[in-house]
């Protein structure tokens, strides 16, 4: 087996750089690191449960609850009790949450443009296809986020 750090280290650097970039770019909007991911899920399907969001992002329910509460405090989302399961909440975008969508997409686009700036058109397309193919393994499986225990 090849040393996993050769691939995983690069993926981690890209992801951490993306989070740092987005946190800086969205600071004026009071959207913190990683919270924009929750908004991105809601842009695809508004009004889904917190549990569905957690599964989509492969994060814990506790992480989802914290992020949604922060976004709610800042006025980007609101929660309502699920009509059929009173233990669950459905999360909806507010007008403010909908308005920031283009900003988040624009800032994400700038990051990707910078990331791929040294690639040819063909390399960009191959990279996109390979990353998409690799990520499908995790979308199709029932992999759950793991918790390290000490």
Hey, is 117 helix, strand or coil?
A: coil
Does the 5-140 domain belong in CATH 1.10.10.10?
Answer: yes
Type and span of the H or E element at 72: helix 61-73
Q: Along the 150 residues of the chain, how does pLDDT read in single tens digits?
A: 788 888 999 999 999 999 999 999 999 999 998 899 999 999 999 999 999 999 989 899 999 999 999 999 999 999 999 888 888 899 999 999 999 999 999 999 999 999 999 999 999 999 999 998 888 877 654 434 433 333
Give the sign of the dihedral formed by CA 4, CA 35, CA 59, CA 45.
Answer: negative
Confidence at residue 139, expressed as pLDDT on a 0 to 100 scale: 66
Q: Strand 48-49: give its sheet, edge to edge.
A: 48-49, 89-93, 77-81
The tokens for 78 are 């609101």
pLDDT of 68: 97
Looking at residue 122, its pLDDT comes to 97
Q: What's the whole-model pTM score?
A: 0.81
Torsion (CA) 82, 103, 133, 128 in degrees, nearest 10: 170
Distance CA 54, CA 51 (A): 5
Confidence at residue 63, expressed as pLDDT on a 0 to 100 scale: 95
Domain coordinates in residue numbering, the chain: 5-140
Which residues does 63 contact at the CB level (< 8 Å), separation at least 6?
54
């Amino acid at each position: 087996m090849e040393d996993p750090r050769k691939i995983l280290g690069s993926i981690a650097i890209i992801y951490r750089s993306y989070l740092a970039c987005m946190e800086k770019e969205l600071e004026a909007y009071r959207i913190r690191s990683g919270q924009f991911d929750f908004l991105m899920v809601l842009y695809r399907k508004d009004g889904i449960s917190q549990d569905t969001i957690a599964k989509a992002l492969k994060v814990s329910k506790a992480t989802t609850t914290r992020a949604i509460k922060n976004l709610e405090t800042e006025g980007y989302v609101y929660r309502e009790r699920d009509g059929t399961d009173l233990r669950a909440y459905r999360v909806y975008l507010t007008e403010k949450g909908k308005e920031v969508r283009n900003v988040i997409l624009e800032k994400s686009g700038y990051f990707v443009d910078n990331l791929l700036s040294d690639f040819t058109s063909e390399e960009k397309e191959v990279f996109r296809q390979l990353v998409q193919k690799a990520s499908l393994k995790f979308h199709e499986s029932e992999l759950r986020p793991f918790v390290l225990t000490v």
